[in-house]
Amino acid sequence: MFVSFKKKSEPRDQQQKQEREWLGISFKPENFIPGLVIGFICGFLIDLSMPSTNHSTKKTLSSRKLQQLSVSSSGDQELKMVLVVRQDLKMKSGKIASQCAHAATGMYAELMQSHRSLLRQWEQCGQPKIVVTCKNQQEMNKLMETAESIGLPTFVVADAGRTQVMAGSKTVLAVGPGPKASVDSVTGKLALL
């Protein structure tokens, strides 16, 4: 009985030995590194072919309109961003702070992909942000249309609806960064928060 057990285990030992040899050959640098590089390139190409998933209601601005906003390299114009918060939603201060952060970082992410030079100029100005209020969704929509018509970038935050407001509620509009005079022409008459 013991002898028969050894005979049965021999094919298994041989199979394990073959598997170890195969693994040893597979992970040699001349086989492994090209496979790793090919995998990386394929993953990169697949990532580039996928559309970005953005849950905001942001319209893409043409680079021509954004170039109108470009400030001369001498930095003679100040840039700023204004965050417009809806009053009719009656959000508490913590919620407003969170939504404003979403608006600022959302705009930043959009411009990182589309207009980095505008971001660099805004960063050199100290990234000023002003928070103001509007009455309701209709006023926010008008502000957004006005800003986009003069070439200012906009970003609207649509809330997930987990806490104080309904899912999909548009809570904050980011206008800019853009030249102070242009941003003020859109938001200058709104009350500070």
pLDDT, tens digit, 9 for 90 and up, residues 122-177: 999 999 999 999 999 999 999 999 999 999 999 999 999 888 999 999 999 999 99
Same domain membership, residue 139 and residue 67: yes
Same domain membership, residue 35 and residue 84: no
Mean residue pLDDT across the chain: 81
Same domain membership, residue 172 and residue 93: yes
pLDDT of res. 32: 63
Give residue 57's pLDDT band: very low, low, confident or very high (50, 70, 90): very low
Same domain membership, residue 110 and residue 30: no
Give residue 38's pLDDT band: very low, low, confident or very high (50, 70, 90): confident
pLDDT of res. 46: 72
**Residue 192 in this model has a pLDDT that exceeds 50:** yes
pLDDT of res. 17: 72
> Identity (one letter) of the amino acid at 35?
G
Same domain membership, residue 149 and residue 70: yes
pLDDT, tens digit, 9 for 90 and up, residues 88-125: 999 999 999 999 999 999 999 999 999 999 999 999 99
Same domain membership, residue 85 and residue 33: no
Q: Provide the CATH number for the domain around residue 155.
A: 3.40.1490.10
Rounded Cα–Cα distance for residues 59 and 101 (Å): 19
Rounded Cα–Cα distance for residues 150 and 2 (Å): 90
**Residue 39 in this model has a pLDDT that exceeds 90:** no
Across 32-67, b (16+ Cβ under 10 Å) vs e yields eeeeeeeeeeeeeeeeeeeeeeeebebeebeeeebe
Range of the domain at 6: 2-49
When divided into structural domains, the chain yields a total of 2
Question: DSSP E strands: which ranges in the chain?
Answer: 79-86, 129-134, 154-158, 170-179
Same domain membership, residue 178 and residue 102: yes
Six-digit token string for 69: 């906003």
Distances (CA, A) of 91 to 57, 86, 192: 20, 9, 15
pLDDT of res. 12: 73
Residue 54 lies in a domain: no
pLDDT of res. 111: 94
Residue 192 lies in a domain: no
Same domain membership, residue 183 and residue 98: yes
